[in-house]
Amino acid sequence: MSVYATNTDQELAILLKKGERGVFAFVYNRYKADLYLHALRIIKNQDDATDLVQEVFTNLWEKRKNFVLSTTIANYLYGAVRNRVFNFIEHRNITERYARSMQSFFEKGEFFTDNLIREKELAVIIEREINALPKKMREVFLMSRNTDLSHKEIGEILGISDTTVKKQIVNAVRLLRLKINLSILFYYFF
């Protein structure tokens, strides 16, 4: 039987506050197993339960000078373990959500990066095919796509009729569609 077994919780708290190591060892040995089982029932992991109980006792010792007991030592320790367990579960849930979020981001990011690369490759193919158009057709086509000018205004600038402008644009689009489709087909399948 321990020297401290006959002391009240209030007396133990006063001795603990004074830094009495024997009191701390007594309290630790008296409650550690029950607190461990209490934590284990909730979090279902032996290592985590051991760590949480250890943290409660470490915190008790480190803050012993400010220790005020308003209830029993058992109630205080069970409450401290309960709070640690809830904080642990909350932290674990946040960590798991973050991990799932990061995993999802990287999984989607892979597709995003893949799509971005394909988009850039497609832009290169389109630019190459536009540059391969006959000079006048390319000029009309680029003016129609890069400016807000009407067919009539483009015709006036280039000295051609608006009907010719329209035909050049239609022919350019038809030619580009054909060449780009062939280029893409060749690019992705050969």
Q: Can you give the residue ranges of every domain in the chain?
A: 9-98, 132-189
Using CA atoms, how far residue 131 sits from 108, 140, 182, in Å, is: 34, 12, 16
If you average pLDDT over residues 67-95, what whole number do you get? 89
User: What pLDDT sits at residue 124?
Assistant: 86
- CA 144, 174, 131: angle at the middle one, nearest 5? 60
> pLDDT digit string (tens) for 148-161?
889 999 999 899 99
pTM exceeds cut of 0.85: no
The two three-digit tokens of residue 136, written as one number: 């006048």
Q: Which helix (H) or strand (E) holds 152?
A: helix 151-158
Q: Does domain 132-189 have CATH number 1.10.10?
A: yes
If you average pLDDT over residues 28-32, what whole number do you get? 92
Asked whether 131 and 138 are in contact (CB, 8 A), the reply is yes
- Write down the CATH number for the domain with range 9-98: 1.10.1740.10
